[in-house]
Amino acid sequence: MRFGLIGYGAWGRQHAAAIEKVPDASVAAIACRTEASAAEAHRDFPDTAVYLDYRRLLDRADIDAVDVVVPNHLHAEIGVASLERGKDVLLEKPMALTLAECDRLIVAAGESGRVLTIGHELRLSSQWGRVKALLDAGEIGEPTYAHVSRFRFPYRPGSAGWRHEAERVGSWVLEELVHHFDLLLWYFERWGGPVSVFSHGNARDGNDPKMSGNFSSVLRFREPLYAVVTKTVAGFEYHLALEIAGTEGAIRTWWSGSMDRTRHPTFELKVKRRGQREPETVAIESSGELFELEKELRQTVIAFAERRPLVSGAEARTRVLVCLEAERSLREGREIALY
């Protein structure tokens, strides 16, 4: 499968490396936004065409699929254009910055007959994905409570500082907490979607709720289940933890690294199964976003061949909705009904 890669920043380079590790897949063309990133692409892929206008890449009839790894505000524009030009699309999360943009992407996929899949790669993790398997197997009974915590160093600015500008990043909820909301909605889909969200947070610089460095949300599902999601970007290193309590057991898992993109983290998954007196440690493979990205690209190639998404536009739209309503809750200081 011949991929066109649109975006060659730090994360785009990781995507390129991951594509090259997939059997029967290759980076056939790269589109960049700046001369500097184009020079890096030429250096890393000297025999691959590099463009400064992504539309020239889309003109290529030999490109089977497009991997879109650009700042958030460009997701909808480039995703729609790629679908309309007849390409299957892997689009980085968040799907888009507004529900209207999400709807444009869904319509474009439907009308073009191409496959659109959204990059919620934590589902493919040997660690975070294993939690889903334990829940679905009923190992802790009915879930009643979950807590997700992310404690990390401040965000990298990104190319030209886009990650620190609300107009381009959308918000820091959409930028990263969308992963947590996706996992929780995926974990608990058997028990229905969340019915409300209530948020609190604060910003280190000013009062813009879109850029809250400290942020927490309570998601209420069907009684008695609820989940707490919390994060800070005023910390150090990179630490992620998840705890789930059930009627007959519990799960606790954590991941820690000197940074998010490390191949040498520490991690653990423990479960107290129903009927057990003591928890057990579950053996899991290497865990971390670099490993999950490689799995995502392998699975995407298979999914495109089978004409199906890994994460559909409709699913990803729901995650954007929850993020936007979590922000509105903070802005308005009240609980927001979701369904």
Tell me: the pLDDT tens digits for 54-63?
999 999 999 9
Q: Is the pLDDT of residue 206 over 70?
A: no
Query: pLDDT (tens digit, 9 = 90+) per residue, 222-278?
Result: 999 999 999 999 999 999 999 999 999 999 999 999 998 899 999 999 999 999 999
Neighbours of 15 (CB within 10 A): 26
Q: What is the pLDDT of residue 205?
A: 66
| Res. 31: pLDDT tops 70 | yes
Backbone angles phi, psi at 210, to 5 degrees: -70, -20
Q: Which amino acid is at 149?
A: S
Measured CA to CA, the distance from residue 212 to residue 208 in angstroms comes to: 7
Average pLDDT for the chain: 96
Cα separation, 227 vs 197, in Å, equals 10
pLDDT reading at 314 higher than 90: yes
Position 154 pLDDT exceeds 90: no
> What pLDDT sits at residue 203?
83
Query: Any idea how long the chain is?
Result: 339
Spatial distance between the Cα atoms of 171 and 100, rounded to a whole number of angstroms: 16
Q: Does the pLDDT at position 14 exceed 70?
A: yes
pTM for the predicted model, two decimal places: 0.96
Angle in degrees, 0-180, between the axes of helices 313-332 and 178-187, rounded to the nearest 10: 120
List beta partners, residue 201. Answer: 215
Q: Count CA atoms within 13 Å of residue 296 on its CB side.
A: 27
C-alpha 135 chain-centroid distance: 21
Please indicate whether residue 101 or residue 162 has the higher confidence score (pLDDT): 101
Architecture of domain 122-284+319-337: 2-Layer Sandwich (3.30)
Residue 329: pLDDT over 90: yes
Question: Distances from the Cα of 308 to the Cαs of 7, 88, 244, 312, in angstroms?
Answer: 24, 10, 31, 8
Whole-number pLDDT of residue 268: 98
Rounded to an integer, what distance in angstroms lies between the CA atom of residue 246 and that of residue 10?
Answer: 39
For domain 2-121+294-311, give the CATH number: 3.40.50.720
Continuous H helices in 151-219: 166-169, 172, 178-187
* HSE of 28, CA atoms in CB hemisphere, 13 A: 18
Amino acid at 173: V
Q: Indicate the SS3 state at residue 27.
A: strand
Same fold yes or no, 2-121+294-311 and 122-284+319-337: no
Of the candidates 143, 179, 139, the residue with the CA atom closest to the CA atom of residue 319: 179
Summarised one tens digit per residue, pLDDT across range 264-288 is: 999 999 999 999 999 999 999 899 9
* Two tokens, residue 274: 């129903």
Q: What is the rounded distance in angstroms from the CA atom of residue 154 to the CA atom of residue 174?
A: 16
Q: What is the pLDDT, as a whole number, of residue 289?
A: 94
Give the torsion through C-alpha atoms of 276, 277, 283, 286, to 10 deg: 110
The CA distance from 50 to 43, in Å, is 10
Is the predicted pLDDT of residue 162 greater than 90, yes or no? Answer: no
Give the C-alpha separation, 83 to 78, whole Å.
9
Query: Domain extents for the chain?
Result: 2-121+294-311, 122-284+319-337
- Which residues make Cβ contacts (< 8 Å) with residue 3, sequence separation at least 6? 19, 25, 26, 27, 28, 63, 64, 65, 66, 67
